[in-house]
């Protein structure tokens, strides 16, 4: 059965020049031709029921993007198609393809979960402020994407024994997890409380969270020492995870976190990201983002397709997107990383890089303190013998951090 969804909106126009997708797809090819996504573009649900979870998710998301969706049976070549394929059509159950061309956009998969992942990729192709600004036309470069996860277990853990975050905050974490294709939320509990218990989540609260997680294709995994608790046993998500199937990391530095690699060959294996839960809600989110983006790419993208300089560029787009989604995040480290090179004649040069893409590194080698008027690093910096290299970082027109001094 096929359904169509027409988009009605008004606003300004946008032209997307470069896609910044996280995690990086297995393969992506783009061209200089463009498809214009407008209010006349229709959404075709091919093989999906009108009342399916994915149809509900898409309808709600479009409304959040200021579109007024309505179903129609009118066929059109100007469409966004979500196509559910026979199980034999793809080798991986979570695989999806996404194609943008003359007739529009087509996302195809053998499972609803695969279609959901393809939809997250499509949403990342739209302008960073799509949920704040009304657009009546978005031009998207033609592209062909084939994508599937490297690991089946892509998890984020929260220690709810030490910190009971409100269920509303946990739902925010689930939403951002699913946006970056993480699929399991681990929660460490010491049991289940009553509905009026402030120290433990109640059965009702956990059921509510589990339902929301399933809508976002995230599985809730409860870790509890008292698994004989009848209420816990009733929850279908209680699970015992073998330690050798998950490699965990708590690295919140983007540069170091991007090096994470489970390096395991287990069918149900994967990675788990966790940070200190004994933090305020604001501090926890600040540590979580955008570190979770680096983790997501490490457990989804093939190691051969990972590239730190490209990820460093792409994350800047996602910082803007997170701002518009009203998430708090850490901007990254502004302390320059220096690599010294010694020439055959004994002279020294410094290669400098900042973790944050777009940051300007001002420098001096004459003993004076650098200012925003000092030269900006563009390639190797020659440093006279015995001199000190001093740096000052500028980002978004503001000084970040303090003056750093380096000697070879």
Same domain, 292 and 359: no
Same domain, 127 and 220: no
Q: Structurally, how many domains does the chain consist of? A: 3
Domain of 229: which CATH number? 3.20.20.80
What is the distance between the alpha carbons of residues 156 and 284, in angstroms, rounded to a whole number? 13
Same domain, 166 and 120: no
Series of mean pLDDT values for 10-residue runs along the chain (408 residues): 46 92 97 90 86 89 77 69 94 96 94 97 96 92 97 92 89 98 92 80 92 95 70 55 73 95 79 87 92 98 95 97 96 95 91 96 97 97 95 97 94
What is the distance between the alpha carbons of residues 74 and 93, in angstroms, rounded to a whole number? 31
Residue 313: the pLDDT is: 96
What is the distance between the alpha carbons of residues 49 and 184, in angstroms, rounded to a whole number? 25
Same domain, 117 and 160: no
In a domain, 25, yes or no: yes
Residue 148: the pLDDT is: 97
Same domain, 137 and 164: no
CA distances from 401 to 16, 290, 357, 391, 395 (A): 33, 19, 15, 10, 10
In a domain, 139, yes or no: yes
In a domain, 168, yes or no: yes
350-374 tens-digit pLDDT: 999 999 999 999 999 999 999 999 9
Same domain, 164 and 304: yes
Which tokens in the block code for residue 268?
């149900």
Identify the residue whose tokens are 């034999």.
88
CA distances from 206 to 154, 192, 212 (A): 21, 9, 10
210-250 tens-digit pLDDT: 999 999 999 998 887 665 556 555 565 555 555 456 899 99
In a domain, 52, yes or no: yes
Task: Enter the pTM of the model.
Answer: 0.92
What is the distance between the alpha carbons of residues 220 and 237, in angstroms, rounded to a whole number? 6
Domain range for 34 is 2-147
Residue 120: the pLDDT is: 98
Determine what percent of the chain falls in helix, strand and coil, rounding each to the nearest 5: 25, 30, 45
Task: Kindly report the number of other CB atoms within 10 A of residue 56's CB atom.
Answer: 12
Same domain, 178 and 274: yes
Which of 289, 324, 359 is a domain's end point? 324
Which of 293, 324, 355 is a domain's end point? 324
315-347 tens-digit pLDDT: 999 999 999 999 999 999 999 999 999 988 889
Which of 116, 147, 178 is a domain's end point? 147
Domain of 95: which CATH number? 3.30.379.10
């Amino acid at each position: 059965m096929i359904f169509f969804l027409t988009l009605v909106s008004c606003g300004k126009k946008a032209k997307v020049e470069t896609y910044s997708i996280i995690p990086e797809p297995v393969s992506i090819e783009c061209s200089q031709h463009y498809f214009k996504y407008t209010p006349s573009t229709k959404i075709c649900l091919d093989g999906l029921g009108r009342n399916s979870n994915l149809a509900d998710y898409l309808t709600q998301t479009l409304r959040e993007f200021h579109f007024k969706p309505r179903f129609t049976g009118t066929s059109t070549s100007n469409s966004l198609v979500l196509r559910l394929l026979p199980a034999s059509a793809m080798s991986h159950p979570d695989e999806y393809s996404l194609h943008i061309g003359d007739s529009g956009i087509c996302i195809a998969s053998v499972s609803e979960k695969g279609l959901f992942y393809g939809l997250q990729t499509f949403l990342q192709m739209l302008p960073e402020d799509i949920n704040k600004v009304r657009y009546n036309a978005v031009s998207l470069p033609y592209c062909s994407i084939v994508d599937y996860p490297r690991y089946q277990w892509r998890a984020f853990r929260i220690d709810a024994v030490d910190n009971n975050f409100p269920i509303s905050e946990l739902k925010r974490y689930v939403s951002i997890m699913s946006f970056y294709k993480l699929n399991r939320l681990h929660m460490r509990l010491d049991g289940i409380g009553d509905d009026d218990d402030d120290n433990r989540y109640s059965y009702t609260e956990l059921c509510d969270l589990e339902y929301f997680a399933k809508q976002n294709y995230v599985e809730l995994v409860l870790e509890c020492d008292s698994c004989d608790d009848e209420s816990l046993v009733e929850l279908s998500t209680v699970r015992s995870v073998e330690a050798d199937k998950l490699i965990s990391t708590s690295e919140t530095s983007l540069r170091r976190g991007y090096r994470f690699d489970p390096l395991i060959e287990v069918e149900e294996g994967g990675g788990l990201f966790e940070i200190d839960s004994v933090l305020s809600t604001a501090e926890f989110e600040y540590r979580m983002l955008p570190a979770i983006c680096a983790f997501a790419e490490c457990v989804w993208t093939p190691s051969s397709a990972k590239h730190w300089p490209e990820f460093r560029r792409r994350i800047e787009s996602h910082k803007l997107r997170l701002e518009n989604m009203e998430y708090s995040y850490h901007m990254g480290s502004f302390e320059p990383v220096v690599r010294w090179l010694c020439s055959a004649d004994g002279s020294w040069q410094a290669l400098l890089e900042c973790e944050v893409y777009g940051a300007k590194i001002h420098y001096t080698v004459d003993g004076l303190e650098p200012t925003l008027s000092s030269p900006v690093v563009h390639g190797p910096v020659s440093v006279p013998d015995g001199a000190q290299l001093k740096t000052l970082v500028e980002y978004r027109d503001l000084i970040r951090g303090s003056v750093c001094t380096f000697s070879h």
